[in-house]
Structure 1
Amino acid sequence: QAAEEMGMKVLRVPAYSPFAVAEQAVSLAVTLNRRLHIARSRVRNGNYELSGLVGMDLKGKTIGILGTGKIGQIAAKIFTGFGMELAAYDVFQNDAIKELGGTYMSKDEVYAKADIISLHVPLLPSTTKMINREAIAKMKPGVILVNVSRGGLVDTDALIEGLSKGVIRACGLDVYENEGALFFKDFSNMSDATRMQQWDQKFALLRSFPNVLISPHSAFLTTDALHNIVQSHAALGLEVCPAAVLPQRPDQPPQRIPDAGRPAQHCHHHHPER
Protein backbone atom coordinates (compact mmCIF):
# COMPACT_ATOMS: atom_id res chain seq x y z
CA GLN A 1 0.00 0.00 0.00
CA ALA A 2 2.83 2.41 0.86
CA ALA A 3 4.52 1.62 -2.46
CA GLU A 4 1.27 2.20 -4.34
CA GLU A 5 0.83 5.58 -2.66
CA MET A 6 4.32 6.51 -3.87
CA GLY A 7 3.55 5.39 -7.42
CA MET A 8 5.83 2.37 -7.21
CA LYS A 9 5.18 -1.10 -8.55
CA VAL A 10 6.07 -4.08 -6.35
CA LEU A 11 6.86 -7.26 -8.25
CA ARG A 12 6.89 -10.75 -6.78
CA VAL A 13 8.69 -13.75 -8.23
CA PRO A 14 6.63 -16.68 -6.92
CA ALA A 15 9.28 -19.32 -7.60
CA TYR A 16 12.71 -19.36 -9.19
CA SER A 17 14.13 -22.74 -8.19
CA PRO A 18 12.17 -24.81 -5.69
CA PHE A 19 14.51 -27.68 -6.57
CA ALA A 20 17.56 -25.87 -5.17
CA VAL A 21 15.96 -25.28 -1.77
CA ALA A 22 14.42 -28.75 -1.56
CA GLU A 23 17.74 -30.39 -2.45
CA GLN A 24 19.47 -28.37 0.28
CA ALA A 25 16.98 -29.67 2.84
CA VAL A 26 17.70 -33.25 1.82
CA SER A 27 21.45 -32.61 1.77
CA LEU A 28 21.39 -31.28 5.33
CA ALA A 29 19.34 -34.24 6.55
CA VAL A 30 21.56 -36.85 4.87
CA THR A 31 24.77 -35.18 6.03
CA LEU A 32 23.56 -35.01 9.63
CA ASN A 33 22.22 -38.55 9.64
CA ARG A 34 25.50 -40.06 8.43
CA ARG A 35 27.57 -37.45 10.30
CA LEU A 36 29.54 -36.66 7.16
CA HIS A 37 30.54 -33.22 8.48
CA ILE A 38 32.11 -34.86 11.53
CA ALA A 39 33.84 -37.52 9.43
CA ARG A 40 35.33 -34.87 7.15
CA SER A 41 36.69 -32.89 10.09
CA ARG A 42 38.21 -36.02 11.62
CA VAL A 43 39.85 -37.20 8.42
CA ARG A 44 41.42 -33.78 7.89
CA ASN A 45 43.00 -34.20 11.33
CA GLY A 46 44.17 -37.75 10.63
CA ASN A 47 41.48 -39.46 12.72
CA TYR A 48 39.91 -42.45 10.96
CA GLU A 49 38.00 -43.96 13.88
CA LEU A 50 34.39 -45.00 13.38
CA SER A 51 33.06 -44.24 16.84
CA GLY A 52 30.33 -41.63 16.84
CA LEU A 53 29.65 -41.95 13.11
CA VAL A 54 26.72 -44.36 13.25
CA GLY A 55 23.65 -43.23 11.31
CA MET A 56 20.40 -44.91 10.29
CA ASP A 57 19.05 -46.35 7.06
CA LEU A 58 16.51 -43.95 5.59
CA LYS A 59 14.58 -46.76 3.96
CA GLY A 60 11.54 -47.58 6.05
CA LYS A 61 11.87 -44.47 8.22
CA THR A 62 9.37 -41.61 8.15
CA ILE A 63 9.92 -38.15 6.71
CA GLY A 64 7.63 -35.46 8.08
CA ILE A 65 7.00 -32.59 5.68
CA LEU A 66 5.41 -29.50 7.22
CA GLY A 67 4.21 -27.40 4.29
CA THR A 68 3.56 -29.15 0.99
CA GLY A 69 3.78 -26.31 -1.51
CA LYS A 70 6.24 -26.49 -4.41
CA ILE A 71 9.37 -26.85 -2.30
CA GLY A 72 7.83 -29.21 0.24
CA GLN A 73 6.42 -31.37 -2.55
CA ILE A 74 9.82 -31.65 -4.26
CA ALA A 75 11.56 -32.42 -0.96
CA ALA A 76 8.95 -35.10 -0.26
CA LYS A 77 9.58 -36.70 -3.64
CA ILE A 78 13.34 -36.84 -3.04
CA PHE A 79 12.97 -38.23 0.48
CA THR A 80 10.52 -40.91 -0.66
CA GLY A 81 13.09 -41.87 -3.28
CA PHE A 82 15.13 -43.26 -0.37
CA GLY A 83 12.19 -45.51 0.48
CA MET A 84 10.94 -43.34 3.32
CA GLU A 85 7.32 -43.24 4.47
CA LEU A 86 5.75 -39.80 4.02
CA ALA A 87 3.78 -37.99 6.73
CA ALA A 88 2.59 -34.52 5.75
CA TYR A 89 0.88 -31.49 7.19
CA ASP A 90 -0.53 -28.45 5.40
CA VAL A 91 -3.69 -26.39 5.66
CA PHE A 92 -4.13 -27.12 1.94
CA GLN A 93 -3.71 -30.71 0.83
CA ASN A 94 -1.70 -31.39 -2.32
CA ASP A 95 -2.73 -34.30 -4.55
CA ALA A 96 0.93 -34.78 -5.52
CA ILE A 97 1.68 -35.80 -1.92
CA LYS A 98 -1.01 -38.46 -2.04
CA GLU A 99 0.38 -39.70 -5.36
CA LEU A 100 3.71 -40.22 -3.59
CA GLY A 101 1.94 -42.44 -1.08
CA GLY A 102 1.96 -39.75 1.57
CA THR A 103 -0.59 -39.35 4.32
CA TYR A 104 -1.86 -36.02 5.59
CA MET A 105 -2.21 -35.76 9.35
CA SER A 106 -2.12 -33.19 12.13
CA LYS A 107 1.11 -31.48 13.17
CA ASP A 108 1.10 -33.42 16.43
CA GLU A 109 0.82 -36.71 14.55
CA VAL A 110 3.72 -35.73 12.29
CA TYR A 111 5.81 -34.81 15.35
CA ALA A 112 5.13 -38.19 16.96
CA LYS A 113 5.77 -40.26 13.84
CA ALA A 114 8.60 -38.62 11.89
CA ASP A 115 12.27 -39.57 12.11
CA ILE A 116 13.15 -36.49 10.07
CA ILE A 117 11.08 -33.29 10.03
CA SER A 118 11.59 -30.74 7.25
CA LEU A 119 9.97 -27.30 7.45
CA HIS A 120 8.55 -25.73 4.29
CA VAL A 121 5.80 -23.40 5.54
CA PRO A 122 5.81 -19.61 5.06
CA LEU A 123 6.39 -17.31 8.02
CA LEU A 124 2.97 -16.06 9.12
CA PRO A 125 1.56 -15.02 12.50
CA SER A 126 0.10 -18.53 12.73
CA THR A 127 3.44 -20.24 12.03
CA THR A 128 5.83 -17.97 13.97
CA LYS A 129 7.79 -20.14 16.42
CA MET A 130 5.64 -23.14 15.59
CA ILE A 131 8.62 -25.27 16.61
CA ASN A 132 8.53 -24.43 20.31
CA ARG A 133 8.90 -26.38 23.56
CA GLU A 134 5.42 -27.85 23.25
CA ALA A 135 6.04 -29.04 19.70
CA ILE A 136 9.47 -30.48 20.49
CA ALA A 137 8.08 -32.33 23.51
CA LYS A 138 5.73 -34.14 21.13
CA MET A 139 8.49 -35.18 18.73
CA LYS A 140 9.86 -38.66 18.39
CA PRO A 141 13.08 -38.90 20.46
CA GLY A 142 16.12 -38.73 18.21
CA VAL A 143 14.42 -36.76 15.43
CA ILE A 144 16.43 -34.80 12.87
CA LEU A 145 15.01 -31.30 12.30
CA VAL A 146 15.66 -29.33 9.10
CA ASN A 147 14.66 -25.72 8.42
CA VAL A 148 15.35 -24.16 5.01
CA SER A 149 12.25 -21.95 5.09
CA ARG A 150 12.29 -19.04 7.55
CA GLY A 151 14.20 -18.65 10.80
CA GLY A 152 11.19 -17.32 12.67
CA LEU A 153 9.48 -20.71 12.46
CA VAL A 154 11.76 -22.01 15.21
CA ASP A 155 12.05 -20.85 18.81
CA THR A 156 15.82 -20.89 19.27
CA ASP A 157 15.66 -21.30 23.05
CA ALA A 158 13.42 -24.34 22.65
CA LEU A 159 15.68 -25.75 19.93
CA ILE A 160 18.78 -25.45 22.13
CA GLU A 161 16.91 -27.12 24.96
CA GLY A 162 15.74 -29.93 22.68
CA LEU A 163 19.29 -30.51 21.43
CA SER A 164 20.71 -30.46 24.96
CA LYS A 165 18.17 -33.04 26.15
CA GLY A 166 18.72 -35.27 23.13
CA VAL A 167 15.13 -35.09 21.95
CA ILE A 168 16.49 -33.59 18.73
CA ARG A 169 19.39 -35.75 17.55
CA ALA A 170 20.57 -33.24 14.97
CA CYS A 171 19.46 -30.02 13.33
CA GLY A 172 20.16 -28.56 9.89
CA LEU A 173 19.50 -24.84 9.38
CA ASP A 174 19.77 -22.58 6.37
CA VAL A 175 17.95 -19.82 8.23
CA TYR A 176 17.99 -18.32 11.72
CA GLU A 177 15.45 -16.07 13.42
CA ASN A 178 17.98 -13.25 13.96
CA GLU A 179 20.13 -13.89 10.92
CA GLY A 180 20.10 -10.28 9.69
CA ALA A 181 23.12 -9.26 11.76
CA LEU A 182 25.13 -12.34 10.79
CA PHE A 183 24.42 -13.84 7.41
CA PHE A 184 26.01 -12.48 4.21
CA LYS A 185 28.91 -11.06 6.23
CA ASP A 186 32.48 -12.28 6.78
CA PHE A 187 33.62 -12.53 10.42
CA SER A 188 36.56 -14.84 9.77
CA ASN A 189 39.18 -12.22 10.66
CA MET A 190 37.67 -11.56 14.08
CA SER A 191 39.00 -13.14 17.24
CA ASP A 192 36.74 -15.55 19.10
CA ALA A 193 36.38 -13.00 21.91
CA THR A 194 35.25 -10.28 19.49
CA ARG A 195 32.81 -12.64 17.83
CA MET A 196 31.28 -13.54 21.16
CA GLN A 197 30.81 -9.84 21.94
CA GLN A 198 29.19 -9.01 18.61
CA TRP A 199 27.31 -12.20 17.77
CA ASP A 200 23.91 -13.20 18.96
CA GLN A 201 24.74 -15.36 22.01
CA LYS A 202 22.05 -17.89 21.17
CA PHE A 203 23.49 -18.33 17.70
CA ALA A 204 26.99 -18.73 19.13
CA LEU A 205 25.71 -21.51 21.39
CA LEU A 206 23.74 -23.14 18.58
CA ARG A 207 26.80 -23.05 16.33
CA SER A 208 28.87 -24.86 18.98
CA PHE A 209 26.79 -28.05 18.84
CA PRO A 210 28.58 -30.73 16.77
CA ASN A 211 25.20 -32.10 15.68
CA VAL A 212 24.04 -28.76 14.26
CA LEU A 213 24.85 -27.90 10.65
CA ILE A 214 24.24 -24.33 9.51
CA SER A 215 24.45 -22.87 6.01
CA PRO A 216 24.19 -19.06 5.56
CA HIS A 217 20.80 -18.78 3.83
CA SER A 218 22.37 -20.25 0.71
CA ALA A 219 19.82 -22.96 -0.10
CA PHE A 220 18.65 -21.08 -3.19
CA LEU A 221 22.19 -20.50 -4.47
CA THR A 222 22.61 -22.56 -7.65
CA THR A 223 23.51 -21.41 -11.15
CA ASP A 224 20.07 -22.52 -12.31
CA ALA A 225 18.29 -20.52 -9.63
CA LEU A 226 20.32 -17.38 -10.31
CA HIS A 227 19.53 -17.69 -14.02
CA ASN A 228 15.83 -18.07 -13.24
CA ILE A 229 15.89 -15.07 -10.92
CA VAL A 230 17.38 -12.84 -13.62
CA GLN A 231 15.00 -14.13 -16.28
CA SER A 232 11.92 -13.78 -14.08
CA HIS A 233 12.78 -10.28 -12.90
CA ALA A 234 13.54 -9.13 -16.43
CA ALA A 235 10.26 -10.52 -17.75
CA LEU A 236 8.23 -8.96 -14.95
CA GLY A 237 10.08 -5.68 -15.28
CA LEU A 238 9.39 -5.44 -19.00
CA GLU A 239 5.75 -6.29 -18.40
CA VAL A 240 5.13 -3.29 -16.15
CA CYS A 241 8.01 -1.05 -17.28
CA PRO A 242 7.90 -1.22 -21.09
CA ALA A 243 9.99 1.95 -21.42
CA ALA A 244 12.71 0.75 -19.07
CA VAL A 245 16.32 1.69 -19.78
CA LEU A 246 18.67 -1.17 -20.54
CA PRO A 247 21.85 -1.44 -18.43
CA GLN A 248 24.48 0.93 -19.79
CA ARG A 249 27.81 -0.40 -21.04
CA PRO A 250 30.85 1.87 -20.68
CA ASP A 251 31.25 2.11 -24.47
CA GLN A 252 27.57 2.70 -25.28
CA PRO A 253 24.98 5.37 -24.47
CA PRO A 254 21.84 4.32 -22.58
CA GLN A 255 19.39 2.33 -24.70
CA ARG A 256 15.68 2.66 -24.11
CA ILE A 257 13.42 -0.32 -24.70
CA PRO A 258 10.69 0.55 -27.23
CA ASP A 259 7.68 1.99 -25.43
CA ALA A 260 4.50 -0.04 -25.71
CA GLY A 261 2.38 3.02 -25.08
CA ARG A 262 2.60 3.14 -21.31
CA PRO A 263 4.82 5.45 -19.24
CA ALA A 264 7.88 4.09 -17.48
CA GLN A 265 7.41 3.23 -13.81
CA HIS A 266 9.75 2.59 -10.92
CA CYS A 267 10.03 -1.14 -10.37
CA HIS A 268 11.02 -3.08 -7.30
CA HIS A 269 10.88 -6.76 -6.46
CA HIS A 270 10.23 -8.95 -3.48
CA HIS A 271 11.52 -12.47 -2.98
CA PRO A 272 8.81 -14.93 -1.92
CA GLU A 273 8.45 -16.88 1.26
CA ARG A 274 9.78 -20.36 0.79
Structure 2
Amino acid sequence: MERISILGGHGRDGTPDSIDRLDLRIGDVVSVVGRTGSGKTTLINDIELFANGDTPTGRRILINGAPPSPRYRDDPAHNPIALITQHTTFLSDLPVDEFLHIHAAVRNGSAERIKDMVERTLIFANQLTGEPILTSSRMTELSGGQTRALLIADAAVICDTPIVLLDEVENAGINRSRALELLRNSQKIFVFVTHDPRIALLSDYRLVIRDGRIDRVLYTDEQERRLAPQVGRLDDALAELRERIRAGERVASFAGGIVP
Protein backbone atom coordinates (compact mmCIF):
# COMPACT_ATOMS: atom_id res chain seq x y z
CA MET A 1 0.00 0.00 0.00
CA GLU A 2 1.48 3.34 -1.10
CA ARG A 3 -1.47 5.67 -1.56
CA ILE A 4 -5.23 5.99 -1.68
CA SER A 5 -6.73 8.42 -4.18
CA ILE A 6 -9.99 10.35 -4.02
CA LEU A 7 -11.39 11.19 -7.45
CA GLY A 8 -13.64 14.24 -7.18
CA GLY A 9 -17.41 14.05 -7.17
CA HIS A 10 -19.93 16.71 -6.22
CA GLY A 11 -21.80 18.29 -3.34
CA ARG A 12 -25.48 18.11 -2.51
CA ASP A 13 -26.39 20.80 -5.06
CA GLY A 14 -24.28 19.25 -7.81
CA THR A 15 -21.35 21.65 -7.42
CA PRO A 16 -18.14 19.72 -8.18
CA ASP A 17 -15.47 19.04 -5.59
CA SER A 18 -12.59 21.51 -5.83
CA ILE A 19 -10.19 18.67 -6.62
CA ASP A 20 -10.14 16.31 -9.58
CA ARG A 21 -7.87 13.92 -7.70
CA LEU A 22 -6.25 13.91 -4.28
CA ASP A 23 -3.59 11.36 -3.32
CA LEU A 24 -3.24 10.43 0.37
CA ARG A 25 0.13 8.77 0.92
CA ILE A 26 1.47 6.50 3.65
CA GLY A 27 2.56 8.65 6.59
CA ASP A 28 0.01 11.41 5.92
CA VAL A 29 -2.13 12.71 8.78
CA VAL A 30 -5.21 14.40 7.32
CA SER A 31 -8.04 16.29 8.99
CA VAL A 32 -11.53 16.64 7.54
CA VAL A 33 -13.12 19.84 8.84
CA GLY A 34 -16.37 21.72 8.31
CA ARG A 35 -19.56 22.73 10.04
CA THR A 36 -21.92 20.15 11.51
CA GLY A 37 -23.90 18.57 8.67
CA SER A 38 -21.46 19.73 5.99
CA GLY A 39 -20.70 16.19 4.78
CA LYS A 40 -17.50 15.24 6.65
CA THR A 41 -18.69 11.76 7.63
CA THR A 42 -20.00 11.24 4.10
CA LEU A 43 -16.46 11.69 2.78
CA ILE A 44 -14.93 9.04 5.03
CA ASN A 45 -17.86 6.75 4.27
CA ASP A 46 -16.95 7.10 0.58
CA ILE A 47 -13.41 6.01 1.44
CA GLU A 48 -14.50 3.15 3.69
CA LEU A 49 -16.99 1.85 1.07
CA PHE A 50 -14.45 2.12 -1.79
CA ALA A 51 -16.91 4.37 -3.63
CA ASN A 52 -16.98 3.81 -7.39
CA GLY A 53 -19.39 6.48 -8.55
CA ASP A 54 -22.13 4.55 -6.75
CA THR A 55 -22.64 6.84 -3.74
CA PRO A 56 -24.62 10.12 -3.62
CA THR A 57 -21.39 12.15 -4.07
CA GLY A 58 -20.30 10.35 -7.25
CA ARG A 59 -16.74 10.07 -5.91
CA ARG A 60 -14.39 7.22 -6.76
CA ILE A 61 -11.65 5.68 -4.63
CA LEU A 62 -8.46 4.14 -6.01
CA ILE A 63 -5.83 2.07 -4.21
CA ASN A 64 -2.32 2.53 -5.61
CA GLY A 65 -3.87 4.13 -8.68
CA ALA A 66 -6.24 1.28 -9.50
CA PRO A 67 -9.79 0.23 -8.51
CA PRO A 68 -9.75 -1.68 -5.20
CA SER A 69 -9.58 -5.46 -5.31
CA PRO A 70 -12.98 -7.14 -4.70
CA ARG A 71 -11.45 -9.09 -1.81
CA TYR A 72 -11.10 -5.83 0.14
CA ARG A 73 -14.89 -5.77 0.38
CA ASP A 74 -15.48 -9.50 0.59
CA ASP A 75 -12.80 -10.56 3.10
CA PRO A 76 -12.46 -8.48 6.31
CA ALA A 77 -9.00 -9.99 6.92
CA HIS A 78 -7.75 -8.26 3.76
CA ASN A 79 -9.58 -4.94 4.14
CA PRO A 80 -6.90 -2.19 4.28
CA ILE A 81 -9.20 0.27 6.09
CA ALA A 82 -10.15 0.52 9.76
CA LEU A 83 -13.04 2.87 10.59
CA ILE A 84 -13.52 4.11 14.15
CA THR A 85 -16.91 5.76 14.40
CA GLN A 86 -18.75 7.71 17.09
CA HIS A 87 -21.13 4.77 17.54
CA THR A 88 -19.94 1.78 19.56
CA THR A 89 -23.22 0.08 20.48
CA PHE A 90 -22.41 -2.70 18.01
CA LEU A 91 -19.74 -4.16 20.29
CA SER A 92 -20.28 -7.65 21.65
CA ASP A 93 -20.78 -8.13 25.37
CA LEU A 94 -17.51 -10.02 25.83
CA PRO A 95 -14.70 -9.48 28.34
CA VAL A 96 -12.03 -7.18 26.90
CA ASP A 97 -9.41 -9.94 26.92
CA GLU A 98 -11.66 -12.38 25.04
CA PHE A 99 -12.74 -9.73 22.51
CA LEU A 100 -9.11 -8.89 21.68
CA HIS A 101 -8.03 -12.53 21.51
CA ILE A 102 -10.86 -13.39 19.11
CA HIS A 103 -10.05 -10.44 16.87
CA ALA A 104 -6.33 -11.25 16.88
CA ALA A 105 -7.11 -14.86 15.96
CA VAL A 106 -9.29 -13.70 13.05
CA ARG A 107 -6.26 -11.79 11.76
CA ASN A 108 -4.50 -15.18 11.44
CA GLY A 109 -1.89 -14.78 14.15
CA SER A 110 -0.09 -17.63 15.92
CA ALA A 111 -0.84 -18.21 19.61
CA GLU A 112 2.39 -16.48 20.64
CA ARG A 113 1.77 -13.57 18.29
CA ILE A 114 -1.84 -13.24 19.47
CA LYS A 115 -0.71 -12.89 23.09
CA ASP A 116 1.85 -10.25 22.12
CA MET A 117 -0.68 -8.28 20.05
CA VAL A 118 -3.23 -8.27 22.88
CA GLU A 119 -0.64 -7.05 25.39
CA ARG A 120 0.58 -4.28 23.07
CA THR A 121 -2.99 -3.23 22.32
CA LEU A 122 -3.79 -2.80 26.01
CA ILE A 123 -0.56 -0.86 26.65
CA PHE A 124 -1.37 1.43 23.72
CA ALA A 125 -4.99 1.96 24.80
CA ASN A 126 -4.13 2.71 28.42
CA GLN A 127 -1.89 5.57 27.31
CA LEU A 128 -4.93 7.32 25.83
CA THR A 129 -7.46 7.08 28.64
CA GLY A 130 -7.50 8.29 32.25
CA GLU A 131 -8.96 5.17 33.83
CA PRO A 132 -7.10 1.96 32.91
CA ILE A 133 -8.92 -0.68 30.89
CA LEU A 134 -9.11 -3.96 32.80
CA THR A 135 -9.03 -7.17 30.79
CA SER A 136 -11.81 -8.59 32.96
CA SER A 137 -14.19 -5.72 32.13
CA ARG A 138 -16.91 -6.45 29.61
CA MET A 139 -16.86 -4.39 26.42
CA THR A 140 -20.29 -2.92 27.16
CA GLU A 141 -19.09 -1.74 30.60
CA LEU A 142 -16.35 0.49 29.21
CA SER A 143 -16.83 4.25 29.06
CA GLY A 144 -17.01 5.99 25.70
CA GLY A 145 -13.40 7.16 26.06
CA GLN A 146 -12.15 3.70 27.03
CA THR A 147 -13.99 2.08 24.13
CA ARG A 148 -12.63 4.58 21.61
CA ALA A 149 -9.09 4.25 23.03
CA LEU A 150 -9.32 0.47 22.76
CA LEU A 151 -10.59 0.61 19.18
CA ILE A 152 -7.82 3.03 18.15
CA ALA A 153 -5.23 0.72 19.71
CA ASP A 154 -6.89 -2.31 18.09
CA ALA A 155 -6.73 -0.62 14.68
CA ALA A 156 -3.06 0.28 15.12
CA VAL A 157 -1.85 -3.04 16.55
CA ILE A 158 -4.20 -5.94 15.74
CA CYS A 159 -5.80 -4.77 12.50
CA ASP A 160 -2.54 -3.12 11.43
CA THR A 161 -4.36 -1.67 8.44
CA PRO A 162 -2.53 0.95 6.34
CA ILE A 163 -5.54 3.32 6.40
CA VAL A 164 -7.30 4.40 9.61
CA LEU A 165 -10.39 6.64 9.57
CA LEU A 166 -11.35 8.30 12.88
CA ASP A 167 -14.67 10.09 13.28
CA GLU A 168 -14.55 12.85 15.94
CA VAL A 169 -12.32 11.09 18.47
CA GLU A 170 -12.06 14.31 20.50
CA ASN A 171 -15.60 13.76 21.78
CA ALA A 172 -14.56 10.59 23.62
CA GLY A 173 -12.30 12.22 26.21
CA ILE A 174 -9.10 10.45 25.13
CA ASN A 175 -5.62 12.00 25.26
CA ARG A 176 -5.54 13.39 21.73
CA SER A 177 -1.94 14.61 21.73
CA ARG A 178 -0.70 11.25 22.96
CA ALA A 179 -2.88 9.50 20.39
CA LEU A 180 -1.38 11.57 17.56
CA GLU A 181 2.13 11.00 18.89
CA LEU A 182 1.66 7.24 19.03
CA LEU A 183 -0.14 7.06 15.71
CA ARG A 184 2.54 9.06 13.90
CA ASN A 185 5.01 6.34 14.83
CA SER A 186 2.99 4.00 12.59
CA GLN A 187 3.48 4.19 8.86
CA LYS A 188 -0.18 4.56 7.95
CA ILE A 189 -2.61 7.06 6.47
CA PHE A 190 -4.72 8.66 9.22
CA VAL A 191 -7.85 10.64 8.38
CA PHE A 192 -9.49 12.50 11.27
CA VAL A 193 -12.99 13.93 11.02
CA THR A 194 -12.65 16.67 13.60
CA HIS A 195 -13.78 19.97 15.07
CA ASP A 196 -10.65 20.11 17.22
CA PRO A 197 -8.12 22.86 16.33
CA ARG A 198 -5.33 20.93 18.03
CA ILE A 199 -5.79 17.89 15.81
CA ALA A 200 -6.29 20.07 12.72
CA LEU A 201 -3.08 22.06 13.26
CA LEU A 202 -1.04 18.91 13.95
CA SER A 203 -2.24 17.38 10.67
CA ASP A 204 -0.26 17.67 7.45
CA TYR A 205 -3.26 19.15 5.68
CA ARG A 206 -6.99 19.48 6.07
CA LEU A 207 -9.91 19.00 3.73
CA VAL A 208 -12.55 21.70 4.16
CA ILE A 209 -16.06 20.36 3.49
CA ARG A 210 -18.94 22.66 2.57
CA ASP A 211 -22.42 21.68 1.37
CA GLY A 212 -21.30 18.10 0.84
CA ARG A 213 -18.33 18.92 -1.40
CA ILE A 214 -14.58 19.25 -0.87
CA ASP A 215 -14.32 23.03 -0.90
CA ARG A 216 -10.60 23.45 -0.23
CA VAL A 217 -7.42 21.61 0.66
CA LEU A 218 -5.31 23.58 3.15
CA TYR A 219 -1.74 22.46 3.83
CA THR A 220 -0.51 23.31 7.31
CA ASP A 221 2.02 26.12 6.89
CA GLU A 222 4.87 27.23 9.16
CA GLN A 223 2.81 29.93 10.82
CA GLU A 224 0.15 27.40 11.81
CA ARG A 225 2.81 24.96 13.01
CA ARG A 226 4.19 27.67 15.30
CA LEU A 227 0.67 28.32 16.59
CA ALA A 228 0.03 24.65 17.39
CA PRO A 229 2.02 24.60 20.70
CA GLN A 230 0.03 27.61 21.98
CA VAL A 231 -3.23 25.87 21.11
CA GLY A 232 -1.88 22.78 22.85
CA ARG A 233 -1.13 24.68 26.06
CA LEU A 234 -4.63 26.16 26.12
CA ASP A 235 -6.11 22.74 25.49
CA ASP A 236 -3.98 21.20 28.26
CA ALA A 237 -5.13 23.91 30.69
CA LEU A 238 -8.78 23.18 29.90
CA ALA A 239 -8.15 19.43 30.20
CA GLU A 240 -6.60 19.96 33.64
CA LEU A 241 -9.57 22.08 34.67
CA ARG A 242 -11.98 19.36 33.54
CA GLU A 243 -10.07 16.73 35.50
CA ARG A 244 -10.08 18.82 38.66
CA ILE A 245 -13.81 19.40 38.39
CA ARG A 246 -14.37 15.68 37.79
CA ALA A 247 -12.30 14.94 40.89
CA GLY A 248 -14.53 17.24 42.98
CA GLU A 249 -11.81 19.85 43.61
CA ARG A 250 -12.07 23.61 43.96
CA VAL A 251 -10.58 25.52 41.04
CA ALA A 252 -10.14 29.08 42.32
CA SER A 253 -6.35 28.52 42.49
CA PHE A 254 -6.22 26.66 39.19
CA ALA A 255 -2.62 26.56 38.00
CA GLY A 256 -3.63 26.97 34.37
CA GLY A 257 -4.63 30.53 35.11
CA ILE A 258 -8.37 30.09 34.55
CA VAL A 259 -10.23 31.52 37.53
CA PRO A 260 -14.00 31.03 37.82
TM-score (norm 1): 0.31
Compare relative contact order (CA 8 Å, sep 6+) and give the higher one, 1 or 2: 2
> Highest Rg: 1 or 2?
1
TM-score (norm 2): 0.32
